[in-house]
Homo-oligomer: A and B are copies of this chain.
Amino acid sequence: MAPSKFPVIEIFGPTVQGEGMVIGQKTMFVRMAGCDYRCSWCDSAFTWDGSGKAEIRMLSAAEIAAELDSIAGDTYSHVTVSGGNPALLPHLNELIELLHGSGIGVALETQGSIWQDWFLHIDELTLSPKPPSSGMKTDWDVLDTIVGKLSAQERNFSLKVVVFDETDLQYAISTHQRYNGVPFYVQAGNEDVKEQDTSLLLQALLSKYMWLVEQVMASAELTRIRVLPQLHAWLWGNKRGF
């Protein structure tokens, strides 16, 4: 059988993972084009709104691995597959197996709208169901199934909810209660994904994060929980490729 090809829109790094369960991890990023969602505040809309179409290359797992090596040489041992929604790719196991074979760890983030069997082989899997401010609707049956399968296999995974406002916070609380016991992260939203002045953006991100910290600290419903910013946006603003 011919190797599968994947719609790669960006490969970059090494850089630090700026958010979620592996925050701070030195990692390469492989960003896949295509998404089943259209979040109002998506910070990577070029992966699905047509604006990045010319950048998409159909690459095999071996071609992706070769490009990672050519960019980063021997300075990396961890890869984050991002999107878009990489769970749209049924054959991604080919890339995961190839990287694992070279001793490389693989993290992946998806909204949890689609199950793939290769979820069971991801080293750090983040499920990030989207709150009301995104304009998307969560399919709870699908998410229940995904969380159930990962829990049954005792996989290393977490839930992460981005929070922009009080309605989102309520969504985070009910998600945390529904999946009690699953490591849970809330993340302050970036309301200025087009702001190019990095110091203005930093002020906005800091105050949004402080707001979220205060909400969570006062809550009796959110106790065994982590509250994080997007570190990469604090450092590099809205620039792509960091």
The residues of A with any CB-CB pair to B shorter than 8 Å are 13-16, 22-26, 73-78, 105, 185, 206, 209-210, 213, 216-220, 222-229, 231, 234-235
| Min CB–CB distance A129 → chain B (angstroms) | 19
Contact B77 A26 (CB under 8 A): no
| Min CB–CB distance A113 → chain B (angstroms) | 25
Contact A78 B26 (CB under 8 A): no
Can you sample 11 A-B contacts with CB below 8 Å?
A: A16-B226, A23-B228, A26-B216, A26-B222, A26-B224, A74-B220, A75-B220, A75-B223, A78-B223, A105-B224, A206-B235
Number of identical monomers bound together in the oligomeric complex: 2
Which B residue's beta carbon lies closest to that of A19?
B24
Of the listed residues A24, A227, A234, the one surrounded by the most CB atoms of chain B closer than 10 A to its CB is A24
Interface of A is mostly: mixed
**Inter-chain contacts of A226 with B (CB < 8 A):** 16, 22-26
Task: Tell me the complex Cα distance, A225–B226, Å.
Answer: 20
**Inter-chain contacts of A229 with B (CB < 8 A):** 231
A23-B24, A26-B226, A76-B223 given. 7 additional CB < 8 A pairs? A15-B217, A16-B227, A25-B225, A26-B217, A26-B227, A74-B220, A75-B223
Task: Tell me the complex Cα distance, A55–B12, Å.
Answer: 51
Contact A225 B23 (CB under 8 A): no
Contact A219 B23 (CB under 8 A): no
Contact A225 B75 (CB under 8 A): no
Which B residue's beta carbon lies closest to that of A216?
B26
Task: Tell me the complex Cα distance, A223–B231, Å.
Answer: 19
Contact A78 B224 (CB under 8 A): yes
| Min CB–CB distance A197 → chain B (angstroms) | 15
